[in-house]
Amino acid sequence: MKSNNERIRLLTLRGMLTALTTVATITIRIPTATKGYVNLGDTIVNISAWLLGGVYGGVAGGIGSFMADIIAGCYIYAPATLIIKFFMAFACFKVYSLCLKEYDSVDARIISAIVSEVIMITGYDIFTGFMYKSVYSAIVALPEFVIQGIMGGTFSVILYECIIKRVPTLKKR
């Protein structure tokens, strides 16, 4: 059973990562032809999965990204974003956990980030096709989603490996 201090620390970390996902998503926004935008929010979605696990990481990534879409005025994307980002983080954590049995942590992070970003690319591309009722729109939007996926996956692994994994954790007393 977790102590009160541990529960408070986890609750704080969950809230912080939710807010950080929102900030990372809306701080650098490159508008796209599909009325969406390329951003760095996926970086924090993946990191949330690695730090919090699949469910809590998915909640932090999903809600943080959902809030960013609302703040940015991209209301039509918000419900899809909530679902897609949740599943990105959930899959990211599950794949990372499975890969640790065969690979070192860096390789496991790279593989899980790739899987996570493929889910994002596929999810948004399918949503775009349905939203515009056009396969052509989905094809046109695909490069934008691939660019975002490459950015998010790359920066999440680099940021985690260079900075986050070197931060000392709180010791239990």
pLDDT of 171 reads 40
Amino acid identity at 160: Y
pLDDT, residue 169, reads: 64
Domains contained in the chain, number: 1
The confidence score (pLDDT) of residue 167 equals 79
Q: How far apart are CA 153 and CA 117, in angstroms?
A: 6
Residue 173: predicted pLDDT: 30
pTM: 0.91
Q: Which domain holds residue 138?
A: 4-166
Q: Is residue 173 part of a domain?
A: no
How far apart are the C-alpha atoms of 68 and 48, rounded to whole Å?
16
pLDDT at 170: 39
Partners of residue 173 on adjacent β-strands: none
d(CA 99, CA 93): 10
172 in a domain, yes or no?
no
pLDDT value for 21: 97
| CA dihedral sign of residues 107, 110, 116, 119 | negative
Is 21 within the bounds of a domain? yes
CATH number of the domain within which 61 lies:
1.10.1760.20
User: Does the residue 136 lie in any domain?
Assistant: yes
**Rounded mean pLDDT for each run of 10 residues along the chain, 173 residues in total:** 85 96 92 77 97 96 97 93 98 97 95 98 96 92 92 96 78 36
* Structural domain includes residue 171: no
- DSSP-based three-state secondary structure for 142: helix
